[in-house]
Every structure is written in structure tokens, then in C-alpha cells.
Copies of this chain bind each other. A is one copy, B any other.
Amino acid sequence: MTLSFWFEFASTYSYPAAMRLPALARARGVAVVHRPFLLAPIFKSQGWNDSPFNIYPVKGRYMWRDLARICEELGLPMKHPSAFPRSGLHAARVATAAANEPWVSDFVAAVYRANFAEDRNIAEPAVVSEILTELGQDAPAILERANAPETKGALRARTEEAIALGIFGSPSFIVGSELFWGNDRLETALAWALGSGKTPRTVA
């Protein structure tokens, strides 16, 4: 079965998830589809105009320490970004335009690395362009596709689809009709994709 990876580039815990997913999915033979979306409209509908980690600073302080521990454990570089959250809009448009390209997961990983390990401003189209060039892609051609009205509309539709699916945070994973939220659920979601998840007997 396929695993759908729903992600917003501003999201902190999506960084380790995006870095871990390709190898874990490959090792298990699980196919991954990429579903970039935007959290801002979802947060706005809950009355939030900023990251919940900024709105609730006690939780925010914990999250940065927790993320640092997770990255240390995984051997992933991490640098507390000098600005947070950074808009993932331009990168999400590229990921939308490139969702079926063989290099999409490299692009996704590179954007997260830029944001959370290299302190680069991924909100700037110029930085997104640099990342594409570093990956050996034709940045101007891809950015033209990314900024086409069809792509913008597709990303808006994807965000509406996320809401309809009950998604409220990033990273989220969908396998069949099961939703999993958070880097901590990646292994569980992959197990469900292999048919070894246990459907609760409890009606919950």
C-alpha cells in the first residue's frame, strides 16, 4: 500500500521525518506520494496567526530542545533558525509542481535542511532557486511552472483536501483511511502500509 506524506515546510518536526522517510520506505518497499500543503489556513481557522510554538512559548521552548535531542540521536545537523516560522509557500509550490518527479524527495529534504540545519531563508524565492540549482535542476523553468496559476490552484486544492482528511499538523501520513500525525508515527504508518497495523477493536 502507498503512504501519503503530507508536509508543510515551516514545520520543525517534519525535518527529521523528511530526512528519515526515503530510506525507511525504501527498506520496507513502501511507495511514497508527496502531498505538500499549507498549515497557515488551517491554523487560521483555529484562531492562530502564528506557529503554536510561538503562541505557547513554554511549549515552544520544549519543542526546540526536543527537536535538538531527536536530531542528535539521528546524527542530523540542526541549527536553531534565526527566524521562525519561515513561509513554505514558494517551496510548497515547487514541490506541488514537482510532486511526481524522481527528485522530489531530494528537494523536500534539501529545503528542510536549508531551514533547520543551514539557517537559510527558504521563504525567499531566490533561496528556493538556489536549492534547485544545487540539486542540478533547471531552476528558472521549474519556478515558472511553480508560479503558474494551475500550480497555485493545485496547492490551494491540496490544502482543502488536507482539511477534508482531518489533517491539522505536519508531518502527517495517510495510509488507506488511517491518519498518523508526527515524526513519532512514521514507523507506525509504514507498518500500516505493510498491512501489519492493528485496527482497534474499541470504537473510539
Contacts and interface: CB of A to CB of B under 8 A. Distances in A.
Interface of A: 46, 56, 58-59, 61-62, 64-69, 71-73, 77-80, 166, 168-169, 178-182, 184-185, 188, 197-204
B69 A197 contact: yes
B168 A73 contact: no
A197 to B, nearest CB: 7
B198 A72 contact: yes
A188 B69 contact: yes
Nearest to A77: B202
Given A56-B46, A66-B181, A181-B66, A202 B71 contact: yes
B202 A80 contact: yes
A66 B179 CA distance: 8
23 contacts: A46-B56, A58-B166, A58-B168, A64-B204, A65-B178, A65-B179, A66-B180, A66-B181, A66-B185, A67-B204, A68-B202, A69-B198, A71-B200, A72-B199, A72-B200, A72-B201, A72-B202, A77-B202, A78-B200, A78-B202, A80-B202, A80-B203, A182-B184
